[in-house]
Structure 1
């Protein structure tokens, strides 16, 4: 097993002196990974994401963002925290309010989102019998995403100034709690290059997740909750990554 630590891998990428952007360097590194190395890093990545998957972290990200985070934006927010390294990840997981005074090695709180790390979770169909025995971290990469144990509807904005006093002092005046917008139901979406998307449609994710079924159309621009064999994901439908099967 070509076991590589997630944090070491990130540290090496951020230390590189290259013309390529960090986004490009990470994407290139993921594409070049052997499967065993990918599983080792992807398992650690999923565990790191899970440690940040709690209500107070979502509240902190939403407060900084100025409005409630959706599934994708919360994932990209956690990616950005992970990119800061092991120590800051551990600190934010236990105390999200410390984001207000932290020192970051990449980006700022003006835009605390990073998409490319999510590509670690795109592994696709593999023959697990050919891999032999897997350590627990690598095996975790192959497990379906488990549902969150919290609900954003439990967030009490009236108490955020007590739960997150440092972040509230910086961002509280600009926060707009548009919960109604998140609850709005959309029946269908017209996506250029794919056509009309409805609940129940079968789609094919061409970059690794395979065939899936649309469980919910979240927005008119094509964001959908999709059930794959590996679990449920919220993703924007785009002809770059999807085909409509029916």
Structure 2
């Protein structure tokens, strides 16, 4: 699986879901379980690459403005949500996080379930019920694709008083409250 296939699965599921994350989650699982186990593993690895790519202080600042706070979990789930929006939204946000002002309607955007779709599909495809070293999460961790431990947030850190000028569109929409 390459990035084009990865984004096709994400975007097809998003289109089918029409804003319902449970449907989007199930659509991704349904797409993945038709693939070979190795491809499901590659999906997990590409997902983790995207999570690491989006680990940037500008994305964190956007989440801070939108939600009013940032924690380790909410930041991770926000990046999952960002990936779930598709390649264009993801890429645009990485180039300029303020573009999210035209995408985000409500605060507290997260898509935690995206973290588990490859495992669910792998279990269905292989019939394995217990995690072992062949599971997508284990393989990705073995390859060093760990979004929890040791990953370093890119870019420059910020303070709250910098946010209005840093991301003015998001600040106008969410931060002024």
**Relative to 1, partners in 2 of residues 1:33 and 1:142: Cα closer, same or farther, differing over 3 Å?**
farther
Number of matched residues? 155
TM-score, structure 2 normalization? 0.72
Question: 1:86-101, aligned counterparts within 5 Å?
Answer: 86-101=87-102
Quote the residue 1:161 is aligned against: 164
Question: Which structure has the greater CA radius of gyration?
Answer: 1
2: CA distance, partners of 1:27 / 1:111: 24
Q: Deviations over 1:14-66 (max 9, x none)?
A: 34489972233334555665421111211111111111101111111111012
TM-score, structure 1 normalization? 0.54
Quote the residue 2:11 is aligned against: 11
Quote the residue 2:153 is aligned against: 150
Q: Deviations over 1:121-164 (max 9, x none)?
A: 75842359xxxxxxxxxx7564241523239xx43111111111
Question: 1:1-246, aligned counterparts within 5 Å?
Answer: 3=1, 5-16=5-16, 21-29=23-31, 34-67=36-69, 69-102=70-103, 108-120=105-117, 122=119, 124-127=131-134, 142-144=142-144, 145=146, 146-150=149-153, 154-174=157-177
Gaps in structure 1 of 5+ consecutive residues: 129-138, 175-246
Contact 2:40-2:118 at 8 Å conserved across structures: no
Which has the larger share of helix?
Answer: 2
2: CA distance, partners of 1:14 / 1:169: 27
